Amino acid sequence: MRSERELTFAQDDIDLFAEASGDHNPLHVEPELAARSAFGSTVVPGALLAIAMLGTLPDDAARSVRSLRLSFSGPVLPGTTVAVNVGPSTRARGAWELALTGRGKTLVRMRARVARADSVLHQPGDRDARALAAMRTAPAEPSIAELVDAPPRFVEYRIGDELQRVAARWGAESVAPAVLEGLAWASYVVGMEVPGRHGLFSGLELGVGEEAADGVPAPGARQELTVRDYDDRTGQLQIDARLVTAAGTARCVAAIECFELVDTGDPDPAALAPAAADAAPAGSRGLVAVIGGSRGFGAALTLALLGHGHRLRVTYASSGDHAERLVALAGAGRDAIAVDRVDARDAEAMEALAAELRAAGERLEGLVLNAALPPLAMGLTAASGGELAAYLADSVRLAAVPLGALLPLVDRDRGWIVFCSSSALSAPPRDWPHYVAAKGALEGLAGWVAQNAPGIRVVVLRPPKMRTAITSTPGGRLGAASVESVAAWTAARLAGEDLDAGVTVLEPSLAEVRA
């Protein structure tokens, strides 16, 4: 018989797990940094999800688990409610199958077994206790070469006393200590050691030694970590790992699957300079407001428009350090850029910005509506329909509030507004129903402006997939264009004379923006 239980994780739960496991990766414990990730928030560690899932097993079953296989399909954010469905396997005696669902999608699958899995018995290499490195308190940031060609590494490991509180919080006190410890340790490996800072835990096979299944973890354990495989197309890593006691017996053996996410760097000004014939001195053309412009495509388009001679007013919600670097990247044109920390959803702040521009006698030649929310993969079910609607409302707010404030300032004779949509609207991805619905609503707003603010040239931009923070996901950057190529292409179209009044849809192919 299967049963189901709902769970909600708080940031405090994550912080307690970080103390227990030693996994202090910013994606889990630093809300401000994590807000800029592809997930838009901190993420509940996969190993913590697994412990909570084991806590839904009957006590007898939880006590007997000696190996498990985990597969993660999507992140769980703190404050959201997920459901765990658990039941004995109908296909393998003594095994249990567990699924954690949220956003209308299965986000974690687990098979837990009484027997130790043969496939986790790989031996990672020779031991050399003398070369034991200390546990990290800040995550590693190895280069690709350091990841791929590194010899096995040996690192001390000490589980925190907090693990017992974590287990109690999620009803997992019956689970063998070595299983709990193995999960916490695997989280530490990915988040702190290999690949560390940009690591994303995606799968695990874990087995524990029979003699290690009971009792309190002995101090002085060491980790032996070997990268078995690295895929340069996707950043996928396969790691063979053992946790060995001070006495030399294997406490946990693991095959870990994870990804190294690509950090989003600053845009390259050299790749954004217009053709010599189109270049104009910075500040020689009209003012453009870029909403959501401190990083990624917004920052690249800002620099490209600067090259075409525009003055820029850029708003950003949280990435202050990016905004400072954007001004520095403008070089000689830095005096033509002003940045404001304004959340695009904040009506009062947007009105204040509009009032300031009006008082200074400014008119806007251009307005770029680029602020957007990262889309987490979602399935469309009756239950997730409400989440889809909430995403849609928040996304529309990011465009509607600045549009409402600044539309009266846009020049009715030669002004333009860019609505940053997506080519995903032409080929909606299976797990992004909320994203395409939000972009569809944005395009509806563009049509409204064209009809009701005649004279303004309305541009709906549907760029191909780009390498931004939003696509810094496993495989997210495959076949993606650089932000510079799309921004340079777009700025050239905006500077040309071929935009008509009404709506112009720009949907360049990958080949066009690269040309």
Applying CB under 8 A, the residues found at the interface with another protein are: 71-74, 89, 91-92, 97, 105-106, 109, 111, 202-203, 229, 231, 233-234, 236, 257, 377, 379, 430-431, 474-476, 478-479
CA distance 287 to 142: 42
Q: One-letter amino acid identity for 414?
A: R
CB atoms within 10 A of CB 184: 29
Residue 39 Cβ, how far from another protein at the closest point, in Å? 14
Q: How far is the CB of 423 from another protein (least distance, A)?
A: 14
Q: Which is nearer to another protein, 10 or 92 (CB)?
A: 92
Which of left, alpha, beta for 502 (phi over 0: left; psi -120 to 50: alpha)? Answer: left
Which residue, 40 or 203, is less far from another protein as judged by CB? 203
- List, as one string, the DSSP characters of 279-325: ---TTSS-EEEEES-SSHHHHHHHHHHHHTT-EEEEEESS-HHHHHH
Angle between helices 385-406 and 347-359 (to 10 degrees): 20
Between 228 and 358, CB nearer to another protein? 228
CB nearer another protein, residue 22 or residue 46: 46
- The β-bridge relationship of strands 337-341 and 311-316 is parallel
Dist. CA 405–CA 140, nearest whole Å:
44
Nearest distance from residue 233's CB to another protein, in Å? 6
Report phi then psi at 198, rounded to 5: -100, 25
Closer CB to another protein, residue 98 or residue 372?
98
Q: Name the amino acid, one letter, at 27.
A: L
Spatial distance between the Cα atoms of 17 and 19, rounded to a whole number of angstroms: 5
Residue 74 C-beta: closest distance to another protein, Å: 8
User: CB-wise, 97 or 146, nearer to another protein?
Assistant: 97
CB 99 within 8 A of CB 108: yes
| CB-nearer residue toward another protein: 315 or 468 | 468
The minimum distance between CB 474 and another protein, in angstroms, equals 5
Distances (CA, A) of 511 to 267, 284, 312, 487, 494: 20, 32, 29, 14, 19
User: Least distance to another protein from the beta carbon of 18, Å?
Assistant: 24
Smallest gap from residue 259 Cβ to another protein (A) = 9
Question: In this structure, how many other beta carbons lie within 10 angstroms of the beta carbon of residue 80?
Answer: 16
